[in-house]
Amino acid sequence: MKFLIKFILIITPLFGVDLIFFGGHILTMDDENPLIEAVAIHDGKIYSIGKKDDIFKLRSWKTKVINLRGKTLMPGFIEAHCHPIATSILSQVINISGFHFNSRSEILNVIESAVKEASPGEWVLAFGWDPVLVSDLYKPTLSELDSISLDTPIFILTQMMHDAYVNSAVYKSAGITMDTPNPIGGGEFQKDSQGNLNGVIYEFSALQYVLDKMPKTPEGTAELLLNIQYTKYAKAGYTSISALGPVSIAGNPLQFMENLSINGAPVRLYVYPVNKQLDGTNYTVDYGNDFFKIKGVKLYMDGSPYTGGAAFSEPYLNTDLTLNRLGLKKNHRGSINFTEDSLFTTLKYYHRNNYQIAIHAQGEIAIQGILDAFTKILYKYPRTNHRHRIEHNALITKEQITQAEELGITLSFFIDHIYFYGDKLKYIVGSERAKRFMPIQSAISLGHKATIHTDNPATPVDPFRAITTAVIRKTKKGEVILGKNERISVNDALKSMTINAAWQLFEEQNRGSITIGKSADLMILSDNPLEIEQEEIKNINVMSTWIDGEQINHSIYTWRNLKLLMLIIYNYLYTSITNWLL
């Protein structure tokens, strides 16, 4: 085998490499070769890097040579944590986000208008309920939503996707009564003090229960929307994305995503299903190929800070925001989705079956519960290089960061909390705790290969906004720089979305840096993020992305999408004609 590899390396220059990049800034994200003049690509791999004159010796008449003309070449971004199915479907529902609306009356008017226009049996779906950003947005009650309609199901999902508000028609359509047990996994059909359903659906397993009861989208529609969303990720600079806890909208989401992630997908897809999604399937860890692979399992330890679900060691502040708009009780501390025993049992099962576990945790209590459970599990069932993950880490402490490093647990941070919600955190946890939200620099200083993510659709797809925020930690309004000591360097920010993210996915041997032998997953940028003003990083444009040395089409007008659109039209006409004949 070694002889064969050497033979290939010797004869390749005789025929020429496939592609050469030169003439710009080349950021490798490889500490051993950080800056180079040119890159040679052959058979989809990084064949050689180095001086321009040396690389040009590898070209032949068939070699494509690209002059960067001062632009920047670097590895494509790797999204460590997002929700592509949810993003694709929610792009078609009513957008009531605080990014777009300023008052409760505006939002309810939009919902009421949609109800009036809804066809019989059609659900009205809205996404983005956000009392943190909309100052008068207190919780809707069941009776309030029933007053809008008793017949049309109304489902309102919060911005962070951990809670939903519904009317009685949703309960009826989903078959939920006051006697329906809460689903396994921490989800809850919440009730009032009298034991009656109160219109709140809490946490993923309960939300998924309701989503499974919704009318299914016509064949081809979900596929088209998801493929368009994949293209949006590619256009933003991503060549790989990680789907954690994919929602189910058209049968098994794993089969759905696998079918779409072949035959020229614009991004690679790594999936962490919730445990229920693996039941009764042939999917197991490391199932798949270079464009679709099951990497582990997703669990939820607590909820969102912006709905009162994050389990903090100190109470939420008692302010107008927390008491009236979030509807929390005084001195609320959040909640945990597992008992100590159920957490230990669940983590042990997946750990012993060689899964990488990615578990959502925002508050210190939630994080400590995870660390304590893993301490016991790893003592009894040692496993090297497991790279279990804790997701988001809003208020993880330095002691917990150290403990995680000692246990081999890796951390991924949802940095957009700072950008979009940093101005409001002082009303939720106070100014001092707000300063240590998302302590990425502490994690890096204590030895972690930390990553940052956008958790899309919780926040819009924009990796350069996330990088800028990690570097400057300035809020959207620009009034606050939150936690100056937790700012990271531009280079570390770039690593967190390239080589560190690849490492977190066990893919560091295949991608994440411009290193000989790795896949040629690349992007060309308008500017060099290491040289421009930090405030300008968010304005960098992605000129192109490449996977396996092939340029990705960033247009949504492709034959692939056209075929899906034709399938939708065919199914619509077939259904319409059939109904007319009947």
pLDDT at 558: 83
Range of the domain at 127: 84-211
Residue 270 lies in a domain: no
Render the burial of 424-458: b for 16+ CB within 10 Å, e for the rest: bbbbbbeeebbbbbbbbbbbbebebbbbbbbbbbb
Mean pLDDT (whole number) for 50-58? 97
Domain-terminating residue out of 211, 245, 268: 211
Average pLDDT, the chain: 92
Counting the structural domains of the chain, the total is: 3
Domain-terminating residue out of 448, 482, 511: 511
298: nearest Cα among 350, 344, 358: 358
Q: 372-420, pLDDT tens digit by residue?
A: 999 999 999 999 999 999 999 999 999 999 999 999 999 999 999 999 9
pLDDT tier at 99 (50, 70, 90 boundaries)? Answer: confident
Is 150 found in the same domain as 200?
yes
Residue 570 lies in a domain: no
**CB–CB of 411/458 below 8 Å?**
no
Residue 561 pLDDT greater than 90, yes or no = no
Domain-terminating residue out of 149, 183, 211: 211
Is 153 found in the same domain as 11?
no
Is 326 found in the same domain as 438?
yes
Mean pLDDT (whole number) for 193-216? 88
Question: Rounded CA gap, 388 and 407, in Å?
Answer: 9
Is 476 found in the same domain as 527?
no
Residue 62 lies in a domain: yes
Mean pLDDT (whole number) for 512-518? 98
Residue 303 lies in a domain: yes
Q: 275-316, pLDDT tens digit by residue?
A: 778 888 889 999 999 999 999 999 999 999 999 999 999 999
416: nearest Cα among 357, 336, 497, 485: 497
Question: Rounded CA gap, 98 and 160, in Å?
Answer: 12
Residue 439 lies in a domain: yes
Is 97 found in the same domain as 7?
no
Is 532 found in the same domain as 448?
no
Is 460 found in the same domain as 326?
yes
Is this structure's pTM higher than 0.95?
no
pLDDT tier at 251 (50, 70, 90 boundaries)? Answer: low
Q: What beta strand segments (E) does 76-220 contain?
A: 77-82, 94-95, 124-129, 154-158, 163-166, 188-191, 197-202
Parallel, antiparallel or unpaired: strands 542-547 and 72-75:
unpaired
Residue 478 pLDDT greater than 90, yes or no = no
Q: 331-382, pLDDT tens digit by residue?
A: 999 999 999 999 999 999 999 999 999 999 999 999 999 999 999 999 999 9
Mean pLDDT (whole number) for 564-574? 73
The sign of the torsion formed by the CA atoms of 484, 485, 490, 496 equals negative
Residue 440 lies in a domain: yes
Is 359 found in the same domain as 308?
yes
CATH number of the domain enclosing 41:
2.30.40.10
**CB–CB of 76/239 below 8 Å?**
yes
pLDDT tier at 5 (50, 70, 90 boundaries)? Answer: very low
Residue 567 lies in a domain: no
Is 116 found in the same domain as 183?
yes
Is 519 found in the same domain as 503?
no
Residue 574 lies in a domain: no
Q: 434-467, pLDDT tens digit by residue?
A: 999 999 999 999 999 999 999 999 999 999 999 9
Is 418 found in the same domain as 541?
no
pLDDT at 484: 96
pLDDT tier at 562 (50, 70, 90 boundaries)? Answer: confident
Residue 507 pLDDT greater than 60, yes or no = yes
Is 326 found in the same domain as 356?
yes
CATH number of the domain enclosing 484:
3.20.20.140
Instruction: Compare 378 and 254 and report the one with higher pLDDT.
Output: 378
CATH number of the domain enclosing 196:
3.10.310.70
411: nearest Cα among 423, 397, 421, 427: 397
Report angle CA 381, 386, 388 to the nearest 5 degrees.
105
